[in-house]
């Protein structure tokens, strides 16, 4: 630790609140975020000793300079940098922060060193963040005794399809908690939970590198920490230069979700029911930018998958499921519909195959993308005229099917390759 940082730490020992901002090339927006954090602390936590940490992944656009310019009275700011493996520059998706796991580790270490009671982490690229976010992320920890606060965002009804179609319903069925947003980016943590995270041997692994949000949320639930969720409002980003890569995002997310099923299998096999978690704030109607969805293109990719990937899928799926997929592919675009129970079975079958190693993990997850696009196309087609409330109820219906079919997953988990069992 350099002498400048050590001197800063000596000055701010005993801070009760720490807000961390992991960043990479966020000069256009980080000033706004710093000012919002300051306003939120002043309004909702007056007189509470606080510190803001900007842990940067080697920005070249003056991000830390902009953060320093925005510093205001009322709290101290620490600027740190963390090393970034070159692999991040290749594979992290749009809005992914380079070396985020290293940034979080730095933020958590400082939380522990300072003895802070509560820690919040916020995204540096947001334009929609308000001072109320700071209260929503910190008050449940600081005042109400919760260990982990996960966000709920106001989103367009067709936004977040990986979360809506897989991550939320699968993790809800597995771990028994109705936590809506496993991939948030904005969190609140207790000092005790931060201390626990730092004890885990995960920080140099792919799960930390590509699925740190999922890992943090899953561990908080699985290890019995007190978890809640808070409504934050819309999540709107400032402009970025790079573009998203669906294949990378999908593979990274599913790799993390499926990978975490291994260490916690003795827990999730015993969970029979789900329950809501405490939720703070209220959702409210808001006008969101429309999202353009190329349904025909998705269906076309799905049909190409049926043509080119069936040999891989037959190593994963029951013969009946493979036949059902071929029947879906023969439907016209107008009649195209992907049955929900078939989709749930596929997600479970791929989980079992990931567990058994019957197909190379990377090939397995990438081969799943056309199936996912087929499910999304069907969902969008069926809900073009539906209200956001009706769409949310459809997602809840999908969650219930995941829960009802969980015995199928448990029954096949340790039996070998599903494809050889005839679906029994």
- Write out pLDDT tens, residues 313-352: 999 999 999 999 999 999 999 999 999 999 999 999 999 9
Report d(CA 270, CA 397) in Å as an integer: 22
SS3 content of the chain, % helix, strand, coil (to 5): 55, 10, 35
How many other CB atoms sit within 10 Å of the CB of residue 120? Answer: 27
Give me the count of residues in the chain: 424
pLDDT class of 24 with cuts at 50, 70, 90: confident
Place of tokens 């985020």: 100
Tokens of 18: 């720490």
Place of tokens 């179609």: 165
Helix (H) or strand (E) holding 81: strand 76-81
First and final C-alpha spacing in the chain:
59
Residues 6+ apart with CB under 8 A from 124: 21, 22, 23, 24, 26, 29, 30, 33, 54, 63, 97
pLDDT by residue (tens digit) across 76-106? 778 777 554 443 333 333 344 556 788 899 9
β-pair type (187-190, 148-154): antiparallel
The architecture in CATH of the region 3-280 reads Alpha-Beta Complex (3.90)
pLDDT by residue (tens digit) across 28-52? 999 999 999 999 999 999 989 999 9
Each domain of the chain, given as residue ranges in start order, spans 3-280, 295-420
> Quick one: residue 288, left, alpha or beta (phi over 0 = left, psi -120 to 50 = alpha)?
beta
pLDDT by residue (tens digit) across 66-83? 888 887 666 677 877 755
pLDDT by residue (tens digit) across 224-262? 999 999 999 888 876 544 445 677 889 999 999 999 999
Q: Give the predicted TM-score (pTM) of the model.
A: 0.88
More confident residue, 63 or 179: 179
């Amino acid at each position: 630790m350099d002498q400048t940082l050590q001197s800063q730490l000596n000055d701010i020992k005993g801070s009760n609140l720490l807000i961390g901002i992991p960043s990479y090339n966020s000069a256009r927006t980080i000033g706004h975020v710093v000012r919002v954090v300051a306003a939120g602390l002043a309004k909702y936590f007056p007189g509470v000793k606080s510190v803001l940490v900007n842990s940067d992944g080697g920005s070249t656009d003056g991000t830390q300079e902009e953060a320093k310019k925005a510093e205001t009275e009322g709290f101290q700011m620490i600027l740190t940098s963390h090393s970034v493996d070159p692999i991040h520059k290749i594979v992290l998706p749009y809005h992914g922060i380079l070396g985020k796991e290293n940034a979080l580790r730095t933020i958590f270490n400082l939380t522990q060193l300072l003895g802070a009671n509560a820690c919040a982490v916020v995204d540096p690229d947001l334009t929609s963040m308000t001072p109320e976010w700071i209260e929503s992320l910190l008050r449940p920890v600081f005042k109400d005794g919760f260990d982990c606060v996960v966000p709920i965002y106001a989103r367009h009804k067709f936004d977040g399809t990986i979360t809506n179609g897989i991550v939320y319903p699968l993790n809800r069925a597995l771990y028994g908690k109705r936590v809506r947003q496993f991939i948030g980016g904005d969190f609140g943590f207790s000092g005790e939970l931060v201390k626990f995270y730092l004890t885990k041997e995960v920080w140099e692994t792919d799960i930390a590198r590509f699925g740190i949000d999922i890992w943090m949320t899953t561990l908080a639930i699985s290890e019995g920490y007190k978890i809640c969720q808070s409504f934050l409002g819309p999540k709107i980003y400032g402009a970025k230069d790079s573009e998203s890569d669906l294949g990378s995002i999908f593979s990274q997310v599913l790799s993390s979700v499926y990978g975490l099923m291994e260490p916690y299998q003795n827990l999730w096999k015993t969970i029979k029911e789900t329950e809501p978690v405490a939720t703070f704030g209220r959702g409210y109607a808001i006008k969101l930018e429309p999202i353009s969805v190329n349904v025909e293109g998705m269906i076309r990719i799905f049909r190409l998958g049926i043509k080119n990937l069936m040999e891989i899928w037959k190593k994963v799926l029951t013969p009946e499921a493979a036949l059902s997929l071929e029947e879906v592919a023969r439907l016209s675009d107008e009649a195209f519909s992907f049955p929900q129970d078939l989709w749930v079975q596929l997600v479970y079958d791929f989980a079992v195959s990931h567990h058994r190693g019957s197909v190379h993990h990377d090939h397995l997850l990438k081969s799943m993308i056309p199936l996912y696009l087929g499910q999304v196309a069907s969902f969008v087609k069926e809900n073009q005229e539906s209200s956001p409330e009706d769409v949310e109820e459809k997602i809840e219906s999908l969650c219930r099917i995941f829960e009802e079919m969980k015995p199928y997953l448990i029954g096949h988990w340790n039996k070998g390759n599903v494809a050889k069992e005839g679906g029994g």
